[in-house]
Amino acid sequence: MARLGRRSLLRTATQVGVGVLAGVQSLGTHAIAQASSRTPASSPVLTYIYAGSSDQKALPDVEKALSGLAMERISASVKLVTFDWGTFDQKISLANAAGEKHDLYYTAPWINNYYTNIRQEYLLKLEKLLADLAPILWGSMTPDTWDAARVGGSIYGAINQQIFVKPFGPYIRADVAKDAGVEDAFRALTSYDDIGPIMAEVKKYIDSKQGGFQYVTVAANINATETFGYDVVDSGLVVKSTDMAGKVGLYSDTLEYSRAALTIRQWNELGYTPSEPKTSSEQQDAWKAGLSTMMMSGVVKPGGDAEIKGRWGHEVISVAIAEPLLTTAGSTATMTGVNSLSANPEAAVKFLELLNSDVRFYNTLCKGIEGVHWEWDDKASLLIRPAGGKASYADTGYNPNTDWQFGNVFNSYYTARSQVGAWPATADLNRNARPSPLLGFTFDGKSVDTERAACAAVAKEFGEPLTFGIVDPMTQIPALNKALQAAGIDRIRAEMQKQIDAWMAAKKR
């Protein structure tokens, strides 16, 4: 029996009635029937779900202000729903599976997976709606950029303009760099091979202090594919960015991966990194609490140091090591989708146009209300400061600090003097980056979904310990690759190569 898609299931349930709906309820999607009876409202309330901190006390006030602006422009009001980062995937998946009444939500390849949402028919096709109802947003990016979001010829997510490239590199707390005497050496870094002596001095500094610091860094992600010029496609399979033929290889079988794993292991044995793996949330909490001093692999971008200070409260110095590379994953790293069951898809797309073209509307969501949460510091430079003499934006009751999640960051006000000018510089970085030979290619993994799931489980079991340096790479990497072979990585690679070859051939015609 053919698999029923989400809309097909809804349509069938509506036609045949209660008997089928009982079966739908048993699958945990009981709200789908309720959704089928919804009709567009003349003044709809658009529910927008995104990830963030739940402690934004002034969120109701911002929601009210946004609703007032939206009612004037698109005859709709707004309901903001925030799920914590740590639970976002789980909560949005449950909401989608249950057919809940929401309209827009955050999606990306790395969280609330864009491609999974498409396969499960949770996202609406947008290309025609964007062209008709969001002409400013649609015209703000090149066709090649929009092509990065295409799956099966259709676009299911509005790309949020931000830094598309990933020039990964390390961060260090500025005060620690100065006190440990490594500031100049850190600024001169061009490779992770040269960072060991710096970490040794930082550890010596930490060991001389009483309490507070616990470890130098979490080394995870220095083996990020982009650091070594690879474009990762899926399941740890990559193409070298200089390979115009698009030959697929297994990243964990490359020399670069092995060298990075050996480096991380050495750092762990020297006591630079924690003895146990740390989740992303634990790493961020440790940084905010002053328990660690360096981050090994963040995206280094114009104005990024100011963002880190705003997020974690510490002045930092950052250095880019990876070459900026324009990839499909980078271009689609942050998007907003429209729920396929939305009763108000046209209004939802008009909301996307408003969010990406109206500077006041966008900055109200990003920064809060003028005079309440922020005020002008230098209007000519688009520089703002916390309102009412508050020490930080967090003290005002509203500080999402995720402008990149909502829309076009090039419309964002600057929050620190050091950030002024960052948006034109970032746009230049995007424009001048070397494109991957696979820019615009999207892998359709439906035929090898079983193998992909098995390989993902293997990567978690064998790969994560390598990422944190708590196992010996000389034995663990062969074990990882052997387990990937058993899980079907060669079948995925063959299917991927076939699709890449066909895609490249079609481009030449």
CA-based end-to-end distance of the chain = 38
For residues 478 and 506, state if they share a domain: yes
What does the block give as tokens for 314? 């510490």
**CB contact at 8 A, 408 and 362:** yes
- Same domain? For 47 and 16 the reply is no
Tell me, yes or no, whether 1 lies in a domain: yes
Does 406 lie in the same domain as 468? no
Would 316 be classed as within a structural domain?
Answer: no
Asked whether the beta carbons of 52 and 20 are under 8 A apart, the reply is: no
* Position 289 in a domain: no
Residues 453 and 508 in one domain: yes
Alpha carbon distance 130, 157 (integer Å): 10
Same domain membership, residue 232 and residue 128:
no
Domain that holds residue 1: 1-37
DSSP annotation string for 390-417? -SSSGGGT-----HHHHS-GGGPPBSSG
pLDDT score at 25: 29
pLDDT at 6: 46
Q: Does the structure show a pLDDT above 70 at 35?
A: no
Amino acid at 330: G
Average pLDDT over every residue of 162-191: 94
List pLDDT tens digits, range 76-120: 999 999 999 989 999 999 999 999 879 999 999 889 999 899 989
Residue 165 counted as domain residue: no
Is residue 231 in some structural domain? Answer: yes
Average pLDDT over residues 1-10: 41
Q: How confident is the model at residue 182 (pLDDT cuts 50, 70, 90)?
A: very high
Taking residues 227-235, what's their average pLDDT? 92
- Rounded-to-integer distance, Cα 283 and Cα 25, Å: 39
**Any idea what the CATH number is for the domain that residue 72 is in?**
3.40.190.10
pLDDT of residue 41: 61
Residues 46 and 148 in one domain: yes
33 and 50 share one domain: no
Is 479 contained in some domain? yes
291: pLDDT confidence band, cut at 50, 70 and 90?
A: confident
Tokens found for residue 270: 């020297």
Is the pLDDT assigned to residue 7 strictly greater than 50? no
Q: In which band, very low, low, confident or very high, does the pLDDT at 251 lie, cut at 50, 70 and 90?
A: very high
| pLDDT of 22 higher than 90 | no
Alpha-carbon distances of 339 from 28, 70, 110, 117, rounded to whole Å: 18, 19, 18, 10
Q: Residue 150: how many CB atoms within 10 A of its CB?
A: 16
Give the Cα separation of 345 and 351 in Å (integer): 10
For residue 8, being part of any structural domain is answered with: yes
Residue 20 has pLDDT above 60, yes or no: no
Cα(423)–Cα(408) distance, integer angstroms: 10
Residue-level pLDDT at 36? 32
Which residues partner with 77 through β-bridges?
45
Question: Do both 46 and 153 map to the same domain?
Answer: yes
CA–CA separation, 2 and 33 (whole Å): 21
Number of domains in the chain: 3
Q: pTM, whole model, 2 decimals?
A: 0.76
Window from 117-126, 144-153, 447-456, 466-475 with minimum mean pLDDT: 144-153
C-alpha to C-alpha distance for 18 and 12, rounded to whole angstroms: 11
Last residue of a domain, one of 365, 390, 411: 411
Is residue 302 domain-resident?
no
pLDDT in tens, 152-163: 889 999 999 999
Do 49 and 147 lie in a common domain? yes
When pLDDT is cut at 50, 70 and 90, the band that residue 310 belongs to is confident
C-alpha separations of 53 from 85, 88, 174, 374, 484 in Å: 7, 11, 26, 19, 36
In the prediction, which pLDDT does 134 show? 98
- What does the pLDDT look like over 454-463, one tens digit per residue? 999 999 999 9
Which of 366, 391, 411 lies at the terminal end of a domain, its last residue? 411
* pLDDT score of 413 more than 90: yes
Q: Are residues 450 and 388 in the same domain?
A: no
What pLDDT shows up at residue 32?
30
Residue 38 above 60 pLDDT? no
CB atoms within 10 A of CB 280: 11
Which residue, 411, 427, 454, sits at the end of a domain? 411
Are 458 and 490 in the same domain? Answer: yes
pLDDT for the residue numbered 240:
96
pLDDT digits 0-9 by tens, 344-403: 999 999 999 999 999 999 999 999 999 999 999 999 999 999 999 999 999 999 999 999
> Is the pLDDT at 330 greater than 80, yes or no?
yes
Note whether 450 and 509 are same-domain residues. Answer: yes
HEC per residue, 256-284: HHHHHHHHHHHHHHCCCCCCCCCCHHHHH
Count of positions (residues) in the chain: 509
Arithmetic mean of pLDDT over the chain: 88
Q: What average pLDDT does range 207-221 have in this prediction?
A: 81
